[in-house]
Structure 1
């Protein structure tokens, strides 16, 4: 099913409101869902929206949370999401974040006590569109193991980087510390499709390509010990520095009534302070890299319409109908 942006917006917003969220929450989450779809990150677009709708209905996400924003230092912003969505806290801190980055050259943002952050690239991409270079990470309910542990110790702990490019779309890199995102495994299981080797282990810790067994098991880090080390660094920033729940302590984002209470950590800087003409320099370098055969992340994505499987939209609408009954 293909939708124009406004029609897709009405579907998402209506479902979120029907699930009990207030207007501010619904607006922030809707924009993030549409942005993920248009960026080609479909796994965290409408496909992930059902997790939010279920969270609203079951109490894992506060439907009317009012984030608490503080400024403990001139170049530091902290947000307590108060068991709500990270997107709303980011929206409310966004103007101060960009202003302080322009004023001081660099600023750090932490968000704690939130549900999963959705598409991590959403946060860095918006800052790049304001001329800032940024890097961000987040954690989530533990669903990834290491080869030597066999236990769920980390979330997928992604990292995203974005930078402004002259006369073009920002450069955005967004990737998990795990070999893939959990939603990709779940989607494969729903379609009864196999997954590649090296994505996950089953509930007995054995490598598997059966997505249904992988859902019962755990994800694994990309690149073995090196990927696991990156996951640990991201955990320290996203949970340790922000004061959010460590992934091992975070309640499930998919079951129960408790908020995962996880975190997001981000640093943004004004590149011209360090390197005048940075967007032009980056544009020229990316062109040179592309000419050398380097794949530039996101450069192949040309999304103009939002294309969502009918069953995904039916699931979203189903939550809305369930909440009204």
Structure 2
């Protein structure tokens, strides 16, 4: 199946996305946060979490699952703990509003924590740790989402895809090391994309509505995703659930409304732990960079080290599915 692709300059893509967000009901501040995060995902090669997922946000603005005028309520529980209530808005805005404060507190105390509740799903989780890594901080981020993942075939969906991301600064001008993965066998957006493109999915990704393993993405959308590695992946999902929802006071995945239908915000959680390696020694970035290069010489795959098409051309242009472009334009 041939998919028509359209090329836009990054400036054109930003303008289009901004206009669509504002037309869908987002505030100017919320629009900037979401567009920045979307373009960042595309730039590092996470296209599935770029404009395809951006459409979920637009639809949710329009249908009321995201309050486009929401202002996060931010409080400092402890000197090194910042807590945000997104008030039914997007996760990225609360993070943007505390970013400089979080960085300063991590540098001052050696570590700092950000937690947030009551937001729409977090989008590309690597975005948060990548930004912190560019400021010289090591960080771990976790987020939960509505329940779509079963621990084993035939079981009820009890967890979200519950991703975790880890970011590490490297020395010099090297891009940060970023590990970003879900605790499910794949991300939900990959199932949606396969269904829209008429492709099958690998066995082991999902089950149908009867709990049987399926390679049909349409049946998977009516069933459940599976945790990666069976019980081990389910354990990771539970750990993420407790740190993201339990710690922040957000909705448990089992209680979170659907992020693609209805009028209620999922109300899910995000938690980020930041560490300042400079508090221990100034050679951290160089040591990690050296170790990464040594591992690569042994043929070890290091996440994020292969340039995306956007990164290769300086992110001056991006390409996207013509159908996605048409759908975004329909909001203007």
TM-score interval w.r.t. the shorter chain? over 0.9
The alpha-carbon deviation at position 307 of structure 1 amounts to: 1.6
2:129 corresponds, among 124, 129, 152, to 124
Give the ranges of 4+ consecutive aligned residues of structure 1 lying more than 3 Å apart after TM superposition: none
Between the aligned partners of 1:70 and 1:115, the Cα distance in structure 2 is 19
Between the aligned partners of 1:72 and 1:130, the Cα distance in structure 2 is 24
1:310 corresponds, among 319, 322, 328, to 322
SS of the residue 1:308 aligns to: strand
SS of the residue 1:65 aligns to: coil
1:57-92 Cα distance to aligned partner (Å, 9 max, x none) = 111100111101111100000010000001000000
> Following superposition of structure 1 onto structure 2, how do residues 9-88 of structure 1 map, counting pairs within 5 Å?
9-88=14-93
Unaligned 5+ residue runs, structure 1? none
The alpha-carbon deviation at position 301 of structure 1 amounts to: 2.3
Answer yes or no: is 1:141 the counterpart of 2:146.
yes
Answer yes or no: is 1:234 the counterpart of 2:229.
no
Answer yes or no: is 1:258 the counterpart of 2:264.
yes
Q: TM-score, normalised by structure 2?
A: 0.95
Between the aligned partners of 1:60 and 1:225, the Cα distance in structure 2 is 32
RMSD: 0.9
Between the aligned partners of 1:161 and 1:131, the Cα distance in structure 2 is 13
Between the aligned partners of 1:81 and 1:251, the Cα distance in structure 2 is 16
Answer yes or no: is 1:95 the counterpart of 2:100.
yes
1:135-182 Cα distance to aligned partner (Å, 9 max, x none) = 000000100011166111000000100000112000000000000001
Between the aligned partners of 1:151 and 1:274, the Cα distance in structure 2 is 45
Partner of 1:282 in structure 2?
288
Answer yes or no: is 1:292 the counterpart of 2:298.
yes
1:12-48 Cα distance to aligned partner (Å, 9 max, x none) = 1110001011100111100000001101111111000
Between the aligned partners of 2:204 and 2:92, the Cα distance in structure 1 is 31
